């Protein structure tokens, strides 16, 4: 219903615009969508993946006739380098809003620290912002110009673990009861682990037998893996934001005879399901590793967009690319409904998004909408598992392309 009403409004606005030749001429200019992502520094690869998503989306939108509500205006991409520090991210955002002419909305910038800094600027500049970063803090600050297109960490944590237990039960016939947690000390990891540690697992009937936090960079994983071996958990929850650390832990697990799925490891963060991970760690060590993904290409997306993977030039698409792709489509959707490039109107339309099709196909979950904080409603958690050197979506069942592997004991 809401969707219809929006469409109605958009049509009326479009009709109104057609009668205003002056405004139409001004709008024939390209509308700019900003991407602030780490293009240099240790996270540059993620930034690159995001850029690919944004570029593909803009290509597709423009090929389909641009923003119809704005006289077929075309979209263009502006990329600013968030670097690897809060200061560089802040500078990038300031650079963007200072030379803002034509920028209607933006997305970025991967890690939570960088996103926090960027949104401090965009909020003040009243520039609509979307992010795939899922730290709770981003939408806890009462900001009006930001939306998170994936479930926030605390929800993700509480929603994903029952999913993992269901999946394990379905795959092995036995519900796990003992978990060991290994996490790094970054804000994203701790935001995820904290609600589970503080009662989340208990409610699910799972005992935490070991809980180790390390500060990156990890120099050596022996002590932690030794504890894993000693405490004999049913599975491990492993959250690492950098993959050198992840590799050290996985390598060490293999060395201690826990690798290759013998001790099921559930990790969070899509960089663990990236082609680089495969290159750096090798297929043997990754085998059986389960990754909790806030977003991942689903069957619906593949049906909607055949060939996207091929066009990206990547062996497979991950969250960074698909979410950024979807974010641009969400902006397009909002622009159509707002019928204006004005920041406040675009933001209002963005917040009012309520779609079960179109852009919603690029996100897991049945529909895309936002609550009053700007958090995603209707998000679901995907589980991706490495099987034979490829990451496959194994959960939710209706989207899954492979059946989960879990050791039967």
Partner 1 sequence: MFSQRPRLAYIAICALVAAYGCAILFTTNSYYQLMLALVPVWAVMGLAWNLFSGYSGLVSFGHAAFFGIGAYTTTLLFAKAGVTPWIGIPLAAVTGSLAGIIIGAITFRLRGHYFALAMLAYPLAMLYVFEWAGFQEVSLPMKRENAALYMQFSDPRWNALIGLGLLVLALLVSLKVERSRFGMSLLAIKQNEIAAQVAGIDAFRWKLKAIALSGALAGAAGGFYAVILLVVTPNTVFGLATSAQALIVTMFGGVGTLWGPVVGAFLLVPASEILHAELGGKLPGIQGVVFGIAIILVMMKMPQGIAWAVRDRFLPRRGRPAQAVSASAVERLATPFVLPPHAAIMLEAEGICRSFGGVRAVADVSFQVRTQEILGIIGPNGAGKTTLFNVLNGLVTPDRGAIRLSGRDITGLPPSRICALGVGRTFQVARVFARMSLVENVVVGAFVGTATDAEAAERAREALGRVGLGALAEAPAEALTNCELRQLEVARALASRPRLLLMDEPFAGLDAGEVRAFMSLIRTLRDDGLTIVIIEHTMHAMVKLVDRFVVLDHGSVIADGAPQDVVRDRTVITAYLGEKWVPDAVA
Partner 2 sequence: MPFSPPGLEAVLQAVATGLLVGSTYGLMCVALGLIFGIMRLINFAQGDFLMLGMYFALAILSGLGLSSLIGSLPALILAALAAVPVFFAIGWLMHLALLGRIGRDRPGMTEGEVHQTQLIMTLGISLVLSNGGLMVFGSTPVSLNTPLASQAVVLDSFGGDILVFLNEARILAAVAALAASCGLYALLHRTDLGKKLRAAADNPLAATYMGIDVARCHRVTFGLGFGLTALAGTMVATYYPFQPYVGLDFIIVMYAGVVLGGLGSIMGSFWGGLVIGLVQQMSTLVLPMQLQGTTVFVVFLLIMLVRPQGLFGRSVERA
Chain residues in the site for partner 2 (CB under 8 A)? 40-45, 185, 212-215, 217, 219-220, 222-224, 226-227, 230, 242-244, 247-248, 251-252, 254-256, 259, 276, 279-282, 284-285
Instruction: Pick one of partner 2, partner 1, none as the site partner of residue 85 (Cβ within 5 to 8 A by kind).
Output: partner 1
Instruction: Pick one of partner 2, partner 1, none as the site partner of residue 224 (Cβ within 5 to 8 A by kind).
Output: partner 2
| Token couple for 382 | 């995907």
Q: For residue 181, state whether it binds partner 1 (rule: CB under 8 A).
A: no
Secondary structure element (H or E) that encloses residue 180, with its range? strand 178-184
* Cβ at position 100, least distance to partner 2 in Å: 29
Q: How many Å apart are CA 338 and CA 353, to the nearest integer?
A: 11
Q: How many Å apart are CA 368 and CA 330, to the nearest integer?
A: 9
Binding mask 203-242 for partner 1 (x = CB under 8 A): ----------x-x---------------------------
For CA atoms 160, 166, 170, 176, the dihedral sign is: positive
For CA atoms 393, 153, 32, 52, the dihedral sign is: negative
Q: For residue 117, state whether it binds partner 1 (rule: CB under 8 A).
A: yes
For CA atoms 208, 182, 391, 135, the dihedral sign is: positive
Q: How many Å apart are CA 402 and CA 404, to the nearest integer?
A: 6
Residues in CB range of 189: below 8 A, 6 or more apart? 183, 239, 240, 241, 268
Backbone Cα Rg of the chain? 22
Instruction: Pick one of partner 2, partner 1, none as the site partner of residue 322 (Cβ within 5 to 8 A by kind).
Output: none
Residue number with CB closer to partner 1 (15 or 217): 217
By CB under 8 A, the residues from 13 to 72 that bind partner 1 are 39-41, 44
Q: For residue 87, state whether it binds partner 1 (rule: CB under 8 A).
A: yes
Q: How many Å apart are CA 347 and CA 344, to the nearest integer?
A: 5
| Alpha-carbon torsion angle 265, 267, 270, 272, nearest 10 | -50
Residue number with CB closer to partner 2 (33 or 249): 249
Binding mask 125-164 for partner 1 (x = CB under 8 A): x---------x-x---xxx---------------------
- The site for partner 1 (CB under 8 A) is made up of 39-41, 44, 79, 81, 83, 85-88, 90-92, 94-95, 97-99, 112-113, 116-117, 120, 123-125, 135, 137, 141-143, 185-187, 190, 213, 215
């Amino acid at each position: 219903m809401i969707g219809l009403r929006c469409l109605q409004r958009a049509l009326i606005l479009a009709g109104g615009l057609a009668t205003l030749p002056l405004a139409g001429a001004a709008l024939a200019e390209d509308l700019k969508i900003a991407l602030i992502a780490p293009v240099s520094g240790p996270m540059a690869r993620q930034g690159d993946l995001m850029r690919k998503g944004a570029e593909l989306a803009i290509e597709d939108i423009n090929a389909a006739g641009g923003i119809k509500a704005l006289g077929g205006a075309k979209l263009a991409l502006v990329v600013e380098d968030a670097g690897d520090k809060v200061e560089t991210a802040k500078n990038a955002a300031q650079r963007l809003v200072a030379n803002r002419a034509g920028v209607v909305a933006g997305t970025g910038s991967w890690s939570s620290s960088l996103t926090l800094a960027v949104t401090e600027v965009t909020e003040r500049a009243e520039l609509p912002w979307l992010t795939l970063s899922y730290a709770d803090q981003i939408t806890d600050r009462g900001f009006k110009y930001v939306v998170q297109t994936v479930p926030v960490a605390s929800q993700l944590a509480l929603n994903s673990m029952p999913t993992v237990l269901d999946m394990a039960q379905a795959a092995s016939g036995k519900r796990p009861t003992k978990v060991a947690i290994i996490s790094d000390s970054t804000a994203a990891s701790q935001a995820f682990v904290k609600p589970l540690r503080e009662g989340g697992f208990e409610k699910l009937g799972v005992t935490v037998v070991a809980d180790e936090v390390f500060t990156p960079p990890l120099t050596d994983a022996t002590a932690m893996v030794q504890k894993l071996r000693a405490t004999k958990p049913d599975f491990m929850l492993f959250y690492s934001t950098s993959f050198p650390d992840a590799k050290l832990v996985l390598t060490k697990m293999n060395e201690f005879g826990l690798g290759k799925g013998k001790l099921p490891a559930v990790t969070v963060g899509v960089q663990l399901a990236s082609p680089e991970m495969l290159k750096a760690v090798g297929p043997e060590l990754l085998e059986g590793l389960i990754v909790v993904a806030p977003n991942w290409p689903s069957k619906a997306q593949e049906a909607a967009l055949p060939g996207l993977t091929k066009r990206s030039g990547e062996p497979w698409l991950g969250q960074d690319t698909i979410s950024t792709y979807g974010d641009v489509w969400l902006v397009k959707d909002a622009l159509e409904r707002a019928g204006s490039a004005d920041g406040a109107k675009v933001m209002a339309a963005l917040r009012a998004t309520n779609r079960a099709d179109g852009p919603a196909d690029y996100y897991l979950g049945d529909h895309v909408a936002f609550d009053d904080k700007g958090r995603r409603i209707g998000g679901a958690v995907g589980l991706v598992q490495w099987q034979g050197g490829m990451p496959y979506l194994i959960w939710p069942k209706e989207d899954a392309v492979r059946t989960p592997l879990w050791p039967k004991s």
